[in-house]
Structure 1
Amino acid sequence: MATYFFGSPVDVDIRLEGEDERKQVEVKLERDRRESSPVYFDGESVVGQAAIRVRDGKKLVHDGIKVEFVGSIELFYDRGNHYEFLSLSQELAAPGEMRQAQTFDFHFKNVEKQFESYQGINVKLRYVIRVTVSRRLADVVKEREIWVHSYRMPPDSNNSIKMEVGIEDCLHIEFEYNKSKYHLKDVIVGKIYFLLVRIKIKHMELSIIRRETTGAPPNQYNESETITKFEIMDGAPVRGETIPIRLFLGGFELTPTFRDVNKKFSTRYYLNLVLIDEENRRYFKQQEITIFRIPEN
């Protein structure tokens, strides 16, 4: 693990117990850098050590050393404001002096982590272990991020989606998806029925759109991104034609659906069906789906 150097006579290194055995998630940092973070779950303890080393044989006089476990939501358009929904703190050392390396144990027991970690376009929900060495001139602070996943039980009811799209006397289609709620590794299975076709359709495509909503009116921001888009039909169908849909979700970077997390943001997913005719006119129908996480085998 890398150790970071500060403009001070001390290095701080945070080690987490059993982290090598945990699943890792690659977290995007600034300037296209990535860092691996271990995955934790709600109710799990977070245990580790803070290793503090005095460099060059210098004496370190400090006003106390503490470790915190913090959960926060950062809204990128509201820079400087981090909304903390979780803040736990433990004292590691009382004010004093250090002349040699010391290691301090910390143990945050059975921590409630009510929200899943998330990194989006305008928002980031993160959990960090933060060690602070308080000093008269400038504190030395080191952070280590962990990633939190939340499992949900499969829903009891999971109805299929059936909808119609029509342009009077020109086009009438019905489409059906097998479910309205999908887990992250699921398969979307569906069919499209052409009941009336009097326009010349060039092709048809299906896309998954993620819509992130942050803030609250009047300062509410919506950002949509297309996760995937693929052509499901090329050429003009005839009446009575049926087009099958089969979309495997496991290959895409999806998150669960989030609704009004701590009254700060939501992330929703939509299936977007688009027909393009020979004059490049577009006809589309959008349907929200719910995505959830279940334990992996």
Structure 2
Amino acid sequence: MVRELARPGILTRGVCYGFEFVNVEKPYESYSGANVRLRCYLRVTVVKRLSDLVKEQDICVHTLAQYPDLNSSIKMEVGIEDCLHIEFEYNKSKYHLKDVIVGKIFFLLVRIKIRHMEVQIIRRELAGSGPAALNESETLAKFEIMDGAPVRGESIPIRLFLSGYDLTPSMRDVNKKFSVKYYLNLVLVDEEERRYFKQQVELSFTSVMLLLYE
């Protein structure tokens, strides 16, 4: 949208011009990533004879969502045949940006000398499509949840506070240009620094309007 603020003339002193943009659609959340930047901004242009003067001011767009009606838990069994069998469970699959991920890891079979276990928050940004598509992954956080060898039947709790990390809402095929997805990695490392298991669980992050009651 464009507004003309002044007729052609000469400026000899400071002048203030008022303007207003009414009912401007801003359907997308502001985002700045590795290969993508989605901006909403004001641009002021003073047209001169030789070269124009241009000034831009970014406007941060924050899209609020509602709590999902259905937010099922995540439960999976994975492992290595005759060596390791674990079951992990997370309390839900959709989180707001200040939420807490709560879960448990159950060891059903352990025949590997595990040294420690950690969870990682991974952001994956996909820009473009076809052969020219850019796929960028970034590890935002590593959180050690176990130090030492587990035994069969042991249960390890997980409580990961999201407010301390630089997260954005999950974005899917924004204007058919890019997507941003988040994953939770579960990583087990043995005494020789070998990684026996790495499983990615997709999480959905949203900006949720919180309603506070007395």
The TM-score with structure 1 as length reference comes to 0.69
Structure 2 counterparts to residues 47-126 of structure 1, below 5 A: 88-126=1-39
Q: Which letter does structure 1 place at the counterpart of 2:206?
A: F
Which residue in 2 is equivalent to 1:254?
Answer: 167
Counterpart secondary structure, 2:67:
coil
Give the whole-Å Cα distance in 2 for the aligned partners of 1:229 and 1:222. 21
Counterpart secondary structure, 1:90:
coil
Give the whole-Å Cα distance in 2 for the aligned partners of 1:230 and 1:114. 34
Give the whole-Å Cα distance in 2 for the aligned partners of 1:100 and 1:200. 77
Which residue in 2 is equivalent to 1:183?
Answer: 96
1 or 2, which has the higher strand percentage?
Answer: 1
Instruction: Using CA pairs under 8 Å that are at least 6 residues apart, name the structure with larger relative contact order, 1 or 2.
Output: 2
Aligned-pair identity (%): 65
Give the whole-Å Cα distance in 2 for the aligned partners of 1:262 and 1:95. 37
Structure 2 counterparts to residues 131-210 of structure 1, below 5 A: 131-210=44-123
Which residue in 2 is equivalent to 1:226?
Answer: 139
2:158 corresponds to which of 234, 237, 245: 245
Which residue in 2 is equivalent to 1:127?
Answer: 40
Q: Which letter does structure 2 place at the counterpart of 1:290?
A: S
1:272 corresponds to which of 177, 180, 185: 185
Which residue in 1 is equivalent to 2:205?
Answer: 291
CA offsets per residue over residues 115-166 of structure 1, 9 Å max, x none? Answer: 0000111111111111101111000111111100000111110000001111
CA offsets per residue over residues 19-73 of structure 1, 9 Å max, x none? Answer: xxxxxxxxxxxxxxxxxxxxxxxxxxxxxxxxxxxxxxxxxxxxxxxxxxxxxxx
The TM-score with structure 2 as length reference comes to 0.95
The answer to whether structure 1 residue 212 and structure 2 residue 148 are counterparts is no
1:263 corresponds to which of 176, 183, 190: 176
Question: Which runs of 5 or more residues in structure 1 are unaligned?
Answer: 1-87
Give the whole-Å Cα distance in 1 for the aligned partners of 2:172 and 2:115. 37
Task: Report the CA distance between 1:98 and its aligned residue.
Answer: 2.2
Q: Which letter does structure 2 place at the counterpart of 1:217?
A: G
Give the whole-Å Cα distance in 2 for the aligned partners of 1:103 and 1:187. 47
Question: Which runs of 5 or more residues in structure 2 are unaligned?
Answer: none
Give the whole-Å Cα distance in 2 for the aligned partners of 1:105 and 1:160. 51
Counterpart secondary structure, 2:182:
strand
Give the whole-Å Cα distance in 2 for the aligned partners of 1:277 and 1:165. 17
CA offsets per residue over residues 76-131 of structure 1, 9 Å max, x none? Answer: xxxxxxxxxxxx10010122222222111010012110000001111111111111
Give the whole-Å Cα distance in 2 for the aligned partners of 1:101 and 1:188. 54
Give the whole-Å Cα distance in 1 for the aligned partners of 2:113 and 2:124. 31
Task: Report the CA distance between 1:277 and its aligned residue.
Answer: 1.3
CA offsets per residue over residues 165-206 of structure 1, 9 Å max, x none? Answer: 111111100000000000001000000000011111111000
Counterpart secondary structure, 2:163:
helix
Give the whole-Å Cα distance in 2 for the aligned partners of 1:118 and 1:229. 23
Which residue in 2 is equivalent to 1:31?
Answer: none
Give the whole-Å Cα distance in 2 for the aligned partners of 1:100 and 1:197. 79
Counterpart secondary structure, 1:185:
coil
